[in-house]
Amino acid sequence: MKNEITNLCQWALEETLKKGATACKVSLYKSKFVDISYREHKPEALKEATTKSIWIDIYIDGRYSSQGTPDLRKASLEKFIEKACQNTGFIEQDPFRSLPDKKYIGTGFSDTLNTFDPQLSTFSPDEKHELVKQIEESCLARGGSKVISVQAGANFSEDEEFIVASNGFTGSNKSTSVWMGASMSAQDEGDRRPNGNFWVGSRFVGDLPSATLVGENAADRTLRLMGAKKLPTETLPVIVENRVAGRLLSGFLAGFMGGNIQQKRSFLLDKIGQPVASPKFSIIDNPLLPKGLNSRLYDYDGFASKKRTFLNNGVVEDFFIDWYYSRKLNCEPTTGSRSNLIVPPGTLSVGQLMKKAGRGILITDFIGGNSNSTTGDFSLGVIGQLFENGVPVQAIAEMNMADNHLLFWNKIEELGNDPWIYGGWQSPSIMFNDVVVAGV
């Protein structure tokens, strides 16, 4: 099968060059997935599919397009390639569009990332359904009489890719991922119906927590929202829980993206080498993390993966710059996209962070909101728990946290010892001082 895919991609590459392309890249993707969800003790949705597609990046004298098709028959592909090249000829020229120079592309990849779980292919349909049933049952049991509804689900996927380019790059990858979780709505006072959820992901089935624990966590998170109130506006410490810290980080990381830098839409423009956050805070991008959900041997441009520090002890050290934007910025490329983002943890548990803060808000979820990559201003709705003397005393909802990224990350007081390992962004819980949380 591998030789067949290799030969097809090589043929498509040569055919595209014959049709007038000055350079091209051919990518073949194969994906198999199963989605299962349960509600009221029976399947609510079941989706299963296997898909294949081929995508061709075409470069013709500064003109560029990327076009794909699921029809892999050579006769159809030949017509597709001819039409794709013709269409590319009508696109406006962009002198910065090209494949990377050969000196930048990765070669001789040795796969040590361990991103494929062979057990997943032996996981029977009955076992998959039983897993989701257990999640639902444990959530219902934990929620008890307060439950209005529970939806439990799981996704199982297996992905393969093969890439060949006219600049000499060749890459292939095979990976698996499993996600499972549940959401629960509960009956509260009056017409209030708080909704909580808990989801976890991993490359390997065996690395996930038990289905029972997942269901119980979904219920517990919902029940902790019971009796939530909108409190008066106050300036106080906040602790952002590990599993939702990525939502807050995403706005900050927008300032590191090469496209925003080049278009002058980044609040970090001209900040290389300058402190913009607490010296306790660093951000590392590690695509070589074994079993990482975003691990990869190479990026979209074909650059060999490399562990990089983008924020080092609060100081901006690098930006995410792909080949295209490196040419527009006249600088060296790094990589154009994030992989496994890691925030080095501290030494204190969430309980110890609350005890140290004394009185504050533990944020367990964000709702809505926005972040401006140009100015750094952001605003997010928050859900969580008010704590006093280190102990939760009142659920909070319908409150808002607004600040500016250039100021906010300097307010970090401590980092937790609990990095979230069930996602692509591994951040611990983070405690900030002097944060305005708006309410009544």
pLDDT for 355-408, tens place per residue?
A: 999 999 999 999 999 999 999 999 999 999 999 999 999 999 999 999 999 999
* Single-letter code of the amino acid located at 150: V
pLDDT single digits (tens) 330-346: 999 999 999 999 999 99
**Three-state DSSP state, 327:** helix
Phi, psi dihedrals of residue 378, rounded to the nearest 5°: -145, 160
**Three-state DSSP state, 331:** coil
Nearest 5°: the CA angle 129, 203, 69 is 85
Would strands 23-39 and 42-60 be described as parallel, antiparallel, or unpaired? antiparallel
Determine the pLDDT at residue 1. 54
Determine the pLDDT at residue 407. 98
Which parts of the chain register pLDDT below 50? none
Determine the pLDDT at residue 102. 94
Domains parsed from the chain with CATH numbers: 2-33+44-104 (3.30.2290.10), 228-440 (no CATH)
Q: Cα–Cα distance between 39 and 44 in angstroms, integer?
A: 6
**Three-state DSSP state, 337:** coil
Q: Cα–Cα distance between 103 and 291 in angstroms, integer?
A: 29
Cβ of 100: how many Cβ atoms within 10 Å? 19
Q: Could you tell me the strand order of the sheet in which 283-285 lies?
A: 315-316, 308-312, 283-285, 341-342, 425-426
Alpha carbon of 297 to those of 25, 132, 203, 234, 436: distances in Å?
A: 17, 32, 15, 47, 42
Determine the pLDDT at residue 3. 81
